[in-house]
Amino acid sequence: MFDKLPPEFQQFGLGIMGFLPTAALARFLVHHRLVRLGHRNMWSPQLWVEVPTCIFSAIIGGGIAEGLGWEGLAAQAMVGFCGWMGPHGLEVFASKWITKGR
């Protein structure tokens, strides 16, 4: 399947597939926490929202780790952090970090 793609896309695809389990685990832990708190049902339609969030977290976390020069477990930890925070959490974290530096 990857044989016909350019090498850059092959590397990107394989890298994301390596990060997806970490991001999926982080998003599942968030979903499980919301279920325990009574904010969601276990098999609700909101569970489908976690799929693109998981992919987003894997891409963003992998990009941040690549930019920082991290490899291996450090990169996986960054993906897990991005997965746990989710899109809204990353937005709040980044805005506070940027405004604190001013």
- Give per-residue pLDDT as tens, 48-94: 888 899 999 999 999 999 999 998 899 999 999 999 998 888 888 88
Residue 1 pLDDT grade (very low, low, confident, very high; cuts 50, 70, 90): low
Which secondary structure element, helix H or strand E, spans residue 81, and what is its range? helix 73-100
Tell which residue, 35, 46, 43, 82, has the closest CA to residue 62.
Answer: 82
CB 44 within 8 A of CB 25: no
Tokens found for residue 63: 């990009």
Residue 34 has pLDDT above 70, yes or no: yes
Which secondary structure element, helix H or strand E, spans residue 25, and what is its range? helix 7-36
Model pTM score: 0.79
pLDDT computed for residue 24 by the predictor: 92
What interhelical angle do 7-36 and 50-68 show, nearest 10?
A: 120
